Amino acid sequence: MNALDSLLNNKRVMCQVEAASRKRIFELVAQQVAEDADLTEDLIYAQLFAREKLGSTALGAGVAVPHCRVAGCEQPLGCLVTLAHGVDFDAPDGRDVDLLFVLLVPEEATQTHLDLLAEIARRFSNDQYCAQLRRAESTGQLLAAATQRLAA
């Protein structure tokens, strides 16, 4: 089992999404997560957008990890998204983002938040792992690829 197993489910995986901006991506993620968790779309969207205003969550290599703390969030939640076309996220390498892992954590989960971000960044720094995610053609394939064990 890896950290992503507890963060994702088939309702919080979005494959080959058509979206032309960060704003639209955050709207779609907020809608998807709100349908699966006891949180409101407006709150999720506002927190994601507020965090992104502080600085880009793009890691480079086409990957971004938008993350925020959310009042009323009882446990960490993730939403994995692949995009049909890359979107500008002000990445350090200038590359458009086409692979996102959105992380929502409870307001008081400071160390958990940091630990999960570190694990997500580690996984998404693996080129083979990212390539498998990008090849997924369905949410089922994407979830299976995301939760596989990485080779040592």
pLDDT in tens, 105-138: 999 888 888 999 999 999 999 999 999 999 999 9
**Catalytic residue status for 67:** yes
Strand partners, 69: 105
Which position among 8, 25, 59, 67 bears the catalytic label?
A: 67
This prediction has a pTM of 0.93
What is the DSSP pairing of strand 58-60 with strand 97-106? unpaired
Question: d(Cα 93, Cα 90) in Å, to the nearest integer?
Answer: 8
CATH architecture of 3-146: 3-Layer(aba) Sandwich (3.40)
Return the domain boundaries, the chain: 3-146
3-state per-residue secondary structure call for 35-52: HHCCCCHHHHHHHHHHHH
- The token duo for 59 is 């890691």
Residue 32 carries which DSSP code? H
pLDDT at 1: 47
Question: d(Cα 100, Cα 105) in Å, to the nearest integer?
Answer: 16
